């Protein structure tokens, strides 16, 4: 009987999640919007008391995030947030563990931890603030900066290729991969909500404007007159349509995607690729992820993929219970006196 | 037994045997079995496995030779023995490599079948040492071990290769006969180990018995030997290696603190066994996390500590280097954590399978910023158990990362351990902060420790991290005076631990001519050397550090009580450096960095030299 357990109705507002610390990002920074959307979404998605939420971060402008959330928080060292968060989650699986990280923090110095968290499907929500630059260190190029980028460390333009974050997450078989934009609050809220509901590693790439060192990096995707032609909003079960007048669509011909004109009379909605978040075939997710690098194609936002599989923490505690059942609760005295023992009298 | 009447049974006080052969010859197994049986017979013993870094180096080569030395006695012993009395050499390379260390006049038992042209060439012998007189002066026993094993196994359903592999059991059986030990423990082991493989049971058991019987039947040996049980204190014993003791120590700390144990670790020789042992204790709720690298090993542990587990991370020198930045994070966030460094030969990848004490300065000083960390060092294999508990106790009580140093020698070596009962082990009190009233993340208690308020505790939500924190409140602070204050407080907190650890004990006179000062895994070698020198009439005392940062409170007083201080170390003088800079005393160093334990005889020589001939007698 559970009537001796007091069930408290938890009702929070966005304000409950704001800490007393003064927010210190540059005025106009996209990080403000991300913070606001998290604080707005949390009252709705949080299914446990506030003290069971932990925010973990690495180092960077983005990694200041935990200080501004009135939850438990851990500001780690550069790149290590996924590993620290893993430890928190495994120490106490009842906690809801969130990671705030940057493109440099998560994909450069912390790349190894990121892919392994995805691979192990540890129940973490990872928000990567992608401003395609190193903000905190004042403007060096990052692993998501476009080739040819001119920055303080690449005065003649960078010669290396950027990471495609959803592609990387897919390669590591993350069980939830999404993308959103700081300037698209409603969409961002929805992605945060959906990530919060997912069990397993949930990765959201958030395009974030650094108005000091990389201003306008996502202008095409956020400015009124260009965004509709450049952003494809993925909606589960819906055909892929974009454009100012909803006049363009994506058709998948075998494994070859094409942008088609819906006004030409040649193609209708029925010819279009219908988005399936649960598509088990990673090849199709990869095709979606590559749109970003293909001229003429729109940039997808939304949930690229989501699959359900046992999380690491579930596996770990399942195994502990199984072994306990098989061997009985651990008995230290018995273990100490086991093996080849002998008496000296 | 009849033959016992026929063959003389000589009593010995102590024996050192070295088994040597190809990496694939099963010498580690042979050595371990002989040790287990010897422990059960009641001898005091100490072992030294010595194997190449290559898993299967080309057969027959000198660098592929694997060895296992054990020293057993009817009295207290502390080392695996400087020089073997007996060498069992399974091939020419094993003979070539180990002969220089055999005692003059020592016993050599060779597998004569292996002394063919091919193997002699591989071992770079120009002529057969069994025939050219180069072994004159040793007692050489040529036993055709391979063919005798093959004969014994005739009719057993095993391939010729598998038959050849059983020869180590023949050698083991022969040694059991020669040193008058029972074979039944090994027989039982064979039955358990190969339960799924009846042919292996039959083959190995037959080889073992054939070896034993050969000893009895052959004319080769005219005597056999026996070593009486040692007079150890009353109790229940087992033989234990340092790594196993370390794992059990942390398991005990988990039970005694009531905290689930979390180990984040990345495999590295010679530390991997710690995670391997702990991963078998799932029914204690132990969580072992094989991380993607050493940095993740420690940072997962830091996360687990933040969330209220007893968190530890295990590694060796190269891994400790990778964990450096994260140790600083644990210092700054003031979270309990134990970092175990099973030291091996360095620098870089160095000598992965060999021992060394060269990470002391890395442990004490190797971090950016002022990042003081308590450093403990286990003295013997079984002491790893005690020090694991101590490290956990200090980490929790003072909310600090603690480094526990062991080394390849004590990690792999084993000794008899008088098993403690759980109720004799110290309690490790834990108090998680739960009251909201007056809670500040960096408000310190009487030990200068901050509160441990773990996620899940209502109304204590707070943020910590690597940025400097304001005193008491724990908010990010760039205030210069606050930084100075916090740096000082963190240092004071660690220094203060000197009031909570045992004093430095002096064995022998508490003042006088010469103190031999050591730390960590050289305890046994120094102890035996000091005992030997004292037996010869030299006036010399010993003190040994198990707590290095902070040093025990009476350290200065002990140092000032002796005219001379000799510090033997398996490094180029790292403790010596710390002692000189901290206490401004003059010390003599004795440093040998061969990847092997210090030799007792060498330390005795140094003692005599330092005393200046008859000085101190
Ligand atoms: C070990 C280490 N290396 C380098 C740095 C310097 N550093 C701090 S933040 C940063 C890059 C952050 O970039 P990103 O993750 O994209 O975060 P942003 O500031 O853009 O949000 C670097 C290189 C550091 N703090 N620690
Ligand atoms: S530097 Fe850029 S990313 Fe950092 S706070 Fe300023 S605007 Fe934001
Ligand atoms: Mg960035």
Per-residue pLDDT at B617: 57
| Ligand 2 atom with the shortest distance to the CA of A26 | 6
Which pLDDT tens digit goes with each residue over A210-226?
999 999 999 999 999 99
List the beta bridge partners of residue B25.
Answer: none
Residues framing ligand 2 (Cβ under 6 A):
A 25-26, 29, 31, 61, 131, 135, 210-213
What pLDDT digit, counting tens, does each position of B374-411 carry? 999 999 999 999 999 999 999 999 999 999 999 999 99
Q: Is A11 exposed, middle or buried (0-12, 13-18, 19+ CB in 10 A)?
A: exposed
Confidence band of B306 (pLDDT split at 50, 70, 90): very high
CA dihedral B553→B541→B77→B235, nearest 10 degrees, is -50
How far apart, in Å, do the first and last CA atoms of chain B sit? 49
| Distance between A106 CA and the closest CA of chain B, angstroms | 13
Query: Could you say which DSSP state residue B505 is in?
Result: P
Per-residue pLDDT at B7: 76
Indicate left, alpha or beta for A216 from its phi (over 0: left) and psi (-120 to 50: alpha). left
The whole-angstrom separation of Cα A61 and Cα A137 is: 9
DSSP E strand boundaries for B202-298: 223-227, 235-241, 261-265, 287-290
**What is the atom index within ligand 2 of the atom nearest the CA of A25?**
5
Portion 199-228 of A in contact with B at CB < 8 A: none
B45 touches chain A (CB under 8 A): no
- In chain B, the percentage of residues whose pLDDT exceeds 70 is 98
Closest Cα to atom 7 of ligand 1: A137
Nearest CA to ligand 1 atom 11: A134
Assign residue A291 a region (left: φ > 0; alpha: ψ between -120 and 50; beta: otherwise): alpha
Consecutive H or E run containing B513: strand B512-519
- pLDDT at position B611, please? 94
Closest residue on chain B to A342 (Cα): B237
Strands A53-57 and A72-75: parallel
Contact A327 B461 (CB under 8 A): no
* Residues of chain B found within 8 Å of residue A49, distances taken between Cβ atoms: 458
The proportion of chain B whose per-residue pLDDT surpasses 90, expressed as a percent, equals: 94
The torsion defined by the Cα of B151, B152, B155 and B156, in degrees rounded to 10, comes to: -130
Query: B242-257 and B383-398 are packed helices; what angle lies between their axes, rounded to 10 degrees?
Result: 40
The pLDDT value recorded for residue B83 is: 94
Rounded CA separation B474/B468 (Å): 8
pLDDT tens track for B519-557: 999 999 999 999 999 999 999 999 999 999 999 999 999
Asked if A67 contacts B463 with a C-beta cutoff of 8 angstroms, the reply is yes
A319 shares contact with chain B (CB less than 8 Å): yes
Binding-face residues of B in 300-319 toward A, CB within 8 A: 300-309, 311
Answer yes or no: is pLDDT of B170 > 90.
Answer: yes
Residue B299 has its nearest CB partner, among A49, A83, A337, at: A83
Instruction: Compute the radius of gyration of chain A from its Cα atoms.
Output: 23
Geometric angle at alpha carbon B305, from B329 and B462, rounded to 5° = 75
ipTM of the complex in this document: 0.96
Domains by residue range for chain B, with CATH = 8-227 (3.40.920.10), 238-424 (3.40.50.970), 506-611 (3.40.50.920)
Per-residue tokens: B267: 């495999």
Average pLDDT over residues A255-268: 96
DSSP B504: P
Residue B584's φ and ψ, nearest 5 degrees, are 50, 45
3-state secondary structure chain A: CCCCCCCCCCCCCHHHHECCCCCCCCCCCCHHHHHHHHHHHHHHHCCCCHHHEEEEECCCCHHHHHHHECCEEEECCCCCHHHHHHHHHHHCCCCEEEEEEEHHHHHHHCHHHHHHHHHHCCCEEEEEEECCCECCCCCECCCCCCCCCCCCCCCCCCCCCCCCHHHHHHHCCCCEEEEEECCCHHHHHHHHHHHHHCCCCEEEEEECCCCCCCCCCCHHHHCHHHHHHHEEECCCCCECEECCCCCEEEEEECCEEEEEECCCCCCCHHHCCECCCCCCCHHHHHHHHHHHHCCCCCEEEEEEEECCCCCHHHHHHHHHHHHHHHHCCCCHHHHHCCCCEEEEC
> Omega before B371 cis (within 30°)?
no
Q: Give the whole-angstrom CA distance, residue B247 versus residue B340.
A: 10
The count of CB pairs under 8 A between chains A and B is 210
Task: Choose the residue to mutate in A31, A66, A136, A207 for probing ligand 1, maximizing ligand atoms within 8 Å of C-beta.
Answer: A136
Q: CB neighbours of B567 closer than 8 A, spacing ≥ 6?
A: B516, B517, B518, B573, B575, B576, B579, B587, B588, B589, B590
| Distance in angstroms (rounded) separating the CA atoms of residues B492 and B501 | 15
Q: Do B465 and A74 touch (CB under 8 A)?
A: yes
Counts for chain B of helices (H) and strands (E), in that order: 21, 23
Question: Is the pLDDT reported for residue B1 higher than 50?
Answer: no
Question: DSSP string covering B345-405, please?
Answer: B-STT-BTTS---TTHHHHHH-SSSS----EEE--STTHHHHHHHHHHHHHHHHT-EEEEE
Contacts of A80 in chain B (CB under 8 A): 295-296, 299, 326
Residue B375 structure tokens: 């450093």
Local structure of B328: helix, strand or coil = helix
The mean per-residue pLDDT over the stretch A110-137 comes to 98
Q: Would an 8 Å CB–CB cutoff place B430 in contact with chain A?
A: no
State whether B40 and A327 contact (CB < 8 Å): no
Helices (H), B445-599: 480-495, 523-535, 555-560, 574-583
- How much is the average pLDDT of B286-303? 98
User: Measured from the CA of A129, which atom of ligand 1 is nearest?
Assistant: 21
Q: What pLDDT score was predicted for residue A340?
A: 84
Contact A336 B420 (CB under 8 A): yes
Question: In Å, what is the CA distance from B210 to each residue of B155, B206, B213?
Answer: 14, 6, 5
Neighbours of ion ligand 3 (CB under 5 A): A 102-103, 131, 135
Classify residue B103 by burial, with Cβ atoms within 10 Å: 0-12, 13-18, 19+: middle
Residue B605, φ and ψ in degrees, nearest 5: -55, -45
| 3-state class (DSSP) for residue B87 | strand
Other CB atoms within 10 A of residue B196 CB? 7
Average model confidence (pLDDT) for chain A? 96
pLDDT band of B3, cuts 50, 70, 90: very low
What is residue B33's three-state secondary structure? helix
What is the spatial distance between Cα A157 and Cα A146, in angstroms, rounded to a whole number?
9
For residue B289, list chain A residues with Cβ-Cβ distance below 8 A: 86-87, 90
The chain-wide mean pLDDT, for chain B, equals 95
Q: What are residue B312's DSSP bridge partners?
A: B263, B338
Residues in chain A: 345
Q: Per-residue pLDDT tens for B228-255?
A: 999 989 999 999 999 999 999 999 999 9
Q: How far is CA B402 from CA A337, B13, B206, in A?
A: 28, 41, 50
Which residue is associated with the tokens 């690098």?
A293
Q: Residue A121 C-alpha to ligand 1 middle, in angstroms? A: 25
Which tokens go with B576? Answer: 């010596």
Return the SS3 of B145: helix
Return the bridge partners of B339, or none.
B313, B403
pTM of the predicted structure, to 2 decimals: 0.94
Identify which of B307, B325, B461 has the shortest CB distance to residue A88: B307
Nearest to B616 by CA among B578, B548, B566, B554: B566
- Please enumerate in sequence order all residues whose Cβ is within 8 A of that of B579, keeping only pairs 6 or more positions apart, or say none: B517, B559, B565, B567, B585, B587
Of A67, A88, A341, the CB nearest to B303: A88
Report CA A231 to chain centroid distance, whole Å.
19
Give the pLDDT score at B4. 45
Evaluate if residue B158 carries a pLDDT over 60. yes
Do B265 and B299 touch, CB atoms closer than 8 A? Answer: no
Nearest CA to ligand 2 atom 2: A210
Residues of B in contact with A56 (CB under 8 A): 303
> Residue B58's pLDDT is what?
87
The reply to whether residue A336 touches residue B465, judged by beta carbons under 8 angstroms, is: no
Instruction: Please give the domain boundaries of chain A with CATH numbers for all domains.
Output: 4-222+309-318 (3.40.50.970)
Instruction: List, as ranges, residues 170-199 from B with C-beta within 8 Å of A.
Output: 185
What is the whole-number distance in angstroms between the Cα of residue A135 and the centre of ligand 2? 5
Choice from A65, A151, A213 to test ligand 2 binding pocket (greatest atom count within 8 A of CB): A213
pLDDT digits (tens, 9 = 90+) for B183-201: 999 999 999 999 999 999 9
How far away, in angstroms, is A165 Cα from ligand 2 center? 20
Q: State the pLDDT confidence band at A131, using cuts at 50, 70 and 90.
A: very high
* pLDDT tens column, B29-81: 999 999 999 999 999 999 999 888 777 788 899 999 999 999 999 999 999 99
Model pLDDT, residue B2: 40
Q: What is the pLDDT of residue A3?
A: 46
How does DSSP classify residue B503?
A: P
Q: Where residue B599 falls among pLDDT bands split at 50, 70, 90?
A: very high
- In this prediction, residue A1 carries a pLDDT of 37
Cβ atoms within 10 A of the Cβ of B290, count?
Answer: 15
- Looking at residue A10, its pLDDT comes to 73
- Report the residue of chain B nearest A322, measured CA to CA: B283
For residue A138, which atom of ligand 2 is closest to its CA?
1
Nearest to B455 among A59, A88, A112 (CB): A88
Q: Does A341 contact B at CB distance below 8 Å?
A: yes
Tens digit of each residue's pLDDT (9 = 90 or more) over B96-141: 999 999 999 999 999 999 999 999 999 999 999 999 999 999 999 9
CB A100 within 8 A of CB A57: yes
Closest-CA residue of chain A to B251: A332
A63 phi/psi in degrees, rounded to 5: -75, -5
Q: What is the three-class DSSP state of B11?
A: strand
Instruction: Report helix angle B198-217 to B184-193, nearest 10.
Output: 160
């Amino acid at each position: 009987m559970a009537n001796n357990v007091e069930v408290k109705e938890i009702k929070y507002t966005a304000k409950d999640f704001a800490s007393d610390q003064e927010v210190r990002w540059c005025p106009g920074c996209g990080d403000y919007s991300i913070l606001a959307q998290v604080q707005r979404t949390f009252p709705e998605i949080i299914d446990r008391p506030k003290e069971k939420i932990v925010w973990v971060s690495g180092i960077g402008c983005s990694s200041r995030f935990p200080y501004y959330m009135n939850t438990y928080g851990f500001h780690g060292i550069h790149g290590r947030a996924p590993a620290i968060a893993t430890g928190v989650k495994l120490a106490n699986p009842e906690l809801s563990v969130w990671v705030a990280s940057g493109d440099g923090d998560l994909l450069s110095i912390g790349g190894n931890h990121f892919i392994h968290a995805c691979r192990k499907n540890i129940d973490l929500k990872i928000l990567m603030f992608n401003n395609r630059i190193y903000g905190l260190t004042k403007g060096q190029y990052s692993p998501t900066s476009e080739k040819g980028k001119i920055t303080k460390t690449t005065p003649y333009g960078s010669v290396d290729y950027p990471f495609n974050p959803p592609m990387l997450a897919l390669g590591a078989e993350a069980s939830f991969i999404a993308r959103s934009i700081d300037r698209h609050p409603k969409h961002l809220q929805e992605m945060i909500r959906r990530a919060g509901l997912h069990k397993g590693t949930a990765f959201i790439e958030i395009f974030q404007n650094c108005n000091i060192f990389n201003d306008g990096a996502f202008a095409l995707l956020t400015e009124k007159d260009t965004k509709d032609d450049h952003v494809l909003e993925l909606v589960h079960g819906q055909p892929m349509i974009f454009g100012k007048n909803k006049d363009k669509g994506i058709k998948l011909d075998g494994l070859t995607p094409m942008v088609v004109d819906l006004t030409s009379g040649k193609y209708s909605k029925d010819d279009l690729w219908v988005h399936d978040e649960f598509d088990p075939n990673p090849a199709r997710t990869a095709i979606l992820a590559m749109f970003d690098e293909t001229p003429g194609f729109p940039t997808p936002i939304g949930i690229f993929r989501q699959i359900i599989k046992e999380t690491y923490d579930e596996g770990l505690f399942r195994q502990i219970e199984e072994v306990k059942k098989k061997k009985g609760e651990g008995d230290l005295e018995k273990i100490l006196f086991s093996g080849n023992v002998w008496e000296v009298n | 037994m009849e033959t016992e009447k026929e063959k003389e049974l000589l009593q010995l006080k102590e024996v050192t045997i070295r088994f040597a052969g190809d990496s694939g010859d099963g010498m580690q197994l042979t050595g371990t079995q002989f040790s287990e049986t010897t422990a059960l017979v009641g001898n005091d013993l100490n072992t030294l496995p010595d194997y190449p870094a290559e898993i299967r180096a080309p057969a027959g080569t000198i660098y592929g030779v694997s060895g296992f030395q054990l020293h057993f006695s009817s009295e207290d012993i502390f080392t695996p023995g400087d020089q073997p009395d007996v060498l069992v050499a399974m091939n020419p390379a094993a003979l070539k490599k180990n002969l220089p260390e055999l005692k003059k006049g020592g016993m050599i038992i060779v597998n004569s079948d292996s002394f063919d042209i091919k193997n002699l060439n591989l071992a770079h012998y120009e002529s057969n040492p069994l025939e050219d007189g180069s072994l004159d002066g040793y007692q050489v026993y040529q036993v055709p071990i391979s063919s005798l094993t093959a004969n014994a196994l005739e009719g057993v359903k095993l391939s010729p290769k598998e038959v050849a592999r059983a020869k180590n059991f023949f050698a083991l059986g022969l040694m059991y006969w020669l040193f008058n030990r029972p074979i039944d423990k090994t027989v039982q082991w064979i039955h358990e180990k190969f339960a799924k493989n009846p042919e292996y049971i039959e083959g190995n058991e037959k080889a073992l018995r054939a070896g034993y019987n050969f000893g009895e039947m052959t004319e080769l040996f005219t005597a056999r030997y026996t070593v009486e049980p040692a007079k150890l204190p009353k109790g229940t014993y087992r033989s234990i290696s340092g790594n196993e003791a370390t794992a059990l120590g942390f398991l005990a700390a988990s039970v005694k603190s009531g905290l689930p144990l979390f180990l984040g670790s990345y495999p590295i020789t010679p530390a991997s066994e710690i995670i391997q042992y702990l991963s078998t204790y799932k029914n204690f709720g132990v969580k072992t996390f094989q991380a993607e690298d050493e940095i993740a090993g420690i940072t997962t542990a830091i996360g687990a500590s933040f969330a209220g587990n007893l968190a530890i991370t295990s590694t060796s020198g190269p891994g400790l280097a990778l964990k450096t930045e994260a140790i600083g994070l644990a210092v700054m966030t003031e979270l309990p954590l134990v970092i175990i460094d099973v030291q091996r030969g360095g620098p870089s990848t160095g000598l992965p399978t060999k021992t060394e004490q060269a990470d002391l300065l890395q442990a004490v000083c190797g971090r950016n910023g002022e990042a003081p960390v308590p450093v403990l060092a286990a003295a013997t294999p079984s002491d790893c158990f005690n020090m694991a508990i101590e490290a956990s106790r200090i980490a929790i009580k003072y909310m600090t990362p603690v480094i526990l140093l062991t080394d390849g020698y004590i990690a792999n070596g084993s000794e008899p351990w008088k098993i403690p009962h759980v109720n004799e082990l110290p309690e490790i009190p834990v108090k998680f902060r739960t009251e909201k009233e007056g809670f500040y993340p960096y408000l310190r208690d009487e030990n200068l420790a901050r509160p441990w308020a773990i996620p899940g505790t209502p109304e204590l939500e707070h943020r910590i991290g690597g940025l400097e924190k304001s005193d008491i409140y724990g908010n990010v602070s760039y205030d210069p005076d606050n930084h100075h204050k916090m740096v000082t407080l963190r240092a004071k907190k660690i220094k203060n631990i000197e009031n909570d650890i045992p004093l430095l004990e002096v064995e022998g006179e508490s003042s006088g001519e010469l103190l031999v000062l050591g730390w960590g895994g050289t305890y046994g070698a120094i102890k035996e050397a000091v005992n030997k020198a004292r037996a010869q009439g030299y006036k010399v005392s010993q003190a040994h550090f198990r707590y290095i940062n902070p040093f025990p409170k009476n350290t200065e007083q002990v140092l000032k009580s002796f005219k001379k201080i000799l510090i033997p170390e398996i490094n180029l003088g790292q403790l010596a450096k710390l002692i000189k800079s901290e206490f401004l005393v003059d010390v003599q160093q004795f440093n040998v960095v061969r990847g092997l334990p210090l030799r007792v005889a060498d330390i005795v020589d140094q003692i005599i030299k330092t005393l200046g001939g008859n000085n101190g007698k």
